Amino acid sequence: MKMTRKKEIEELLAEALLRGGEMAYALYKYDMEEHIDDLYDGLKKDGEEFVFAVNENTGDVTMVLITVDKTLYINERAREKLQEMWPETYRANIIHLLPMMVDDLASGIISVTGVKITRT
């Protein structure tokens, strides 16, 4: 039985983000690098602490995380940085965000998540 496109994307993202799978630097260079300035501008405009974007193309996944000082973390380093920033909630947060990411990617757009940290 053939997997639906959304199911395929969900499985690829789960592998990359939840099970430590490899990500494709070539896809980052090809399809994400050109968006860095726009992603960073959005982060600044919205007052976010960091933003991360995920993309998928022909079975490859790439991810970039940008901090407020414009430090870039790409692919596995981005995943590791996000795990550091969300030490107790990484898995739950990714599971929560996965349906939105899948919808974005299935619609042909890069999935972007901006994060504001509230301090109590």
Residue 14 in this model has a pLDDT that exceeds 90: yes
Residue 118 in this model has a pLDDT that exceeds 80: no
The pLDDT of residue 120 is 63
Task: Take residue 53 and report the two structure tokens written for it.
Answer: 């974007």
Residue 119 in this model has a pLDDT that exceeds 90: no
**CB neighbours of residue 8 within 10 Å:** 16
Q: What is the DSSP letter of 97?
A: H
**pTM of the full structure:** 0.93
Q: Report d(CA 76, CA 89) in Å as an integer.
A: 18
**CA 52 distance to own-chain centroid:** 5
The pLDDT of residue 117 is 75
Task: Please answer whether residues 40 and 49 qualify as being in contact, where contact means their C-beta atoms are separated by less than 8 angstroms.
Answer: no
Question: What percentage of residues in the chain have a pLDDT greater than 90?
Answer: 93
Residue 65 burial by CB count (10 A; 0-12/13-18/19+): exposed, middle or buried?
Answer: buried
Tens-place pLDDT, residues 93-110: 999 999 999 999 999 999
* 120 half-sphere exposure, CB direction, 13 A CA radius: 0
